[in-house]
A and B are shown apart, each in its own frame.
Chain A
Amino acid sequence: GDSVTQMEGPVTLSEEAFLTINCTYTATGYPSLFWYVQYPGEGLQLLLKATKADDKGSNKGFEATYRKETTSFHLEKGSVQVSDSAVYFCALSDQGGFKTIFGAGTRLFVKA
């Protein structure tokens, strides 16, 4: 079945460092790919998405590119801030959009 694998955390970075959180997926067909962010004690918020190969999703300085050849959707940010500390979930949704499958989540700590 479909699955999402993302790098284990926690990831600890200093402010203004470069961030990469790896995500790879297994799916039949052409899924949509997402990154969600969860701040402490809150639900998930959609961070960015891409719906087809080579699409780049971007938001708040974060970006990720849908790479079908490597089945990857790595999240990147050039300069992280303390306020980016959260848990980041990579996810995919099948073509019908009926079910979303989440990765295990990667916790990010950004130090001042």
Chain B
Amino acid sequence: GAVVSQHPSWVICKSGTSVKIECRSLDFQATTMFWYRQFPKQSLMLMATSNEGSKATYEQGVEKDKFLINHASLTLSTLTVTSAHPEDSSFYICSASTGDGKNIQYFGAGTRLSVL
């Protein structure tokens, strides 16, 4: 149980275009979802926290207009990288929490974004 599906797993796009990444909790309702960015051989950097039906909370230094997060349902959150540039190339990982007080996050497999 507690499976999180992230799609796509890999995307290549041209500079200036927008890319949407989906994160779905397949067998549980996720009251909270998290979006991370991971640079090569580095740890995860929390970008934002999203709660279903409300605006996402962004970490300091993360541009909310560039990284649009929507959490429209208890099983789906999306991250849209708008007007992508080569410096946005990275590994993006989502996670979901059941909100049952166990403090466990279940992670998607990640999306590798390459901006040409």
Contact = CB atoms under 8 A, between A and B. Distances in A.
Contacts, number: 51
Contacts of B6: 43
Interface stretch (B14-22, B61-69, B102-110): B102-110
Interface string B1-13: 0001010000000
Contacts of A100: 34, 46, 103, 105
Nearest to A39: B109
Interface of B: 4, 6, 32, 34, 41-44, 46, 49, 93, 95, 97, 101-110, 112
Interface residues of A, number: 22
Contact of A32 (B103, B107, B110, B112): B103
Task: Classify the interface of chain A: helix, strand, loop or mixed.
Answer: strand
B104 A102 contact: no
